[in-house]
Amino acid sequence: MKFISFNINGLRARPHQLEAIIEKHQPDVLGLQEIKVADEDFPYDLVNHLGYHVFHHGQKGHYGVALLTKKAPIAVRKGFPTDELNAQKRMIMADIETDFGVLTVLNGYFPQGENRSHETKFPAKQKFYSDLQHYLETQLKPENPIIIMGDMNISPTDLDIGIGEPNRKRWLRDGKCSFLPEEREWLDRLHRYGLVDTFRVANPEVNNQFSWFDYRSKGFDDNRGLRIDLILASKSLAERCVETGIDLDIRAMEKPSDHSPVWATFK
């Protein structure tokens, strides 16, 4: 069973990348982030012919997430129960009957946070991770099959940082988000709950594979980026992970997202 996570950075702008992913990988579940389209304006004409059940939680111009599933889910949930009415549209979940039992997949576009000194963006990132942790601890059980995937906007380890050592030190010194100690603690809480970074388990020492590359500095041209797009799996499911990777060919297409799709296969 194959899961793919992709920050598409505008669904309407990149149907060619969506089609290429599906043609190449035929995923069972595809999570999209930053679709940038309101629910009432969702472009079904771009996805209906692809052969998937489509669910979305979006807003105009910003954020937004979608799930495409081969098999119809048992249930779909949008946002966290703790969300306020004006909450940004960043999380969509589904329960799917699988060979592993009823699997819960959570697809999120996690806040970037900008800087630990930012008055609103950094607290919003902290709250999102806290809301996720609370949801896991109150609504799900770690022994059950769980996938959390998405643009999580944190590089888990220094192996996942490819912007050069001077930039890494400067970002830390300036409080810039992506690998601050407190951000990594939020990820560590997910690990302690019982979730495993599928890519890192399969590639324990790899330090040159990244999922995000800055447009402005043309980071993709010389592999300067960050691994911030993750697929986390509960331990029992992670043990069945047979393959995982980052698809740089999709990132190399014309008019690409600044992210590459990441994927994991379970048997």
Binding residues: 7, 34, 151, 153, 258-259
Asked if residue 21 lies in contact with residue 30, where contact means CB atoms within 8 angstroms, the answer is yes
Asked if residue 199 lies in contact with residue 227, where contact means CB atoms within 8 angstroms, the answer is yes
Annotation says 109 is catalytic: yes
Sign of the alpha-carbon dihedral angle for 138, 144, 149, 152: positive
Q: How far apart are CA 74 and CA 70, in angstroms?
A: 12
> Where is the binding site for Mg(2+), in residues?
7, 34, 151, 153, 258-259
The residues, ordered by sequence, that sit 6+ positions from 123 with a Cβ below 8 Å of its Cβ are none
The residues, ordered by sequence, that sit 6+ positions from 238 with a Cβ below 8 Å of its Cβ are 196, 198, 201
User: Which of 52, 57, 131, 151 is flagged as catalytic?
Assistant: 151
Residue corresponding to tokens 């992210």:
259
Kindly compute the dihedral angle of the four CA atoms of residues 173, 174, 176, 178, in this order, to the nearest 10 degrees. 0
Which is nearest to 183 in space by CA: 126, 117, 134, 231?
A: 126
User: Which of 25, 56, 57, 259 is flagged as catalytic?
Assistant: 259
Annotation says 151 is catalytic: yes
CA terminus-to-terminus distance, the chain: 6
Q: How far apart are CA 85 and CA 165, in angstroms?
A: 42
Kindly compute the dihedral angle of the four CA atoms of residues 71, 6, 148, 167, in this order, to the nearest 10 degrees. 170
User: Which of 52, 109, 131, 229 is flagged as catalytic?
Assistant: 109
Q: Residues with catalytic annotation?
A: 109, 151, 259
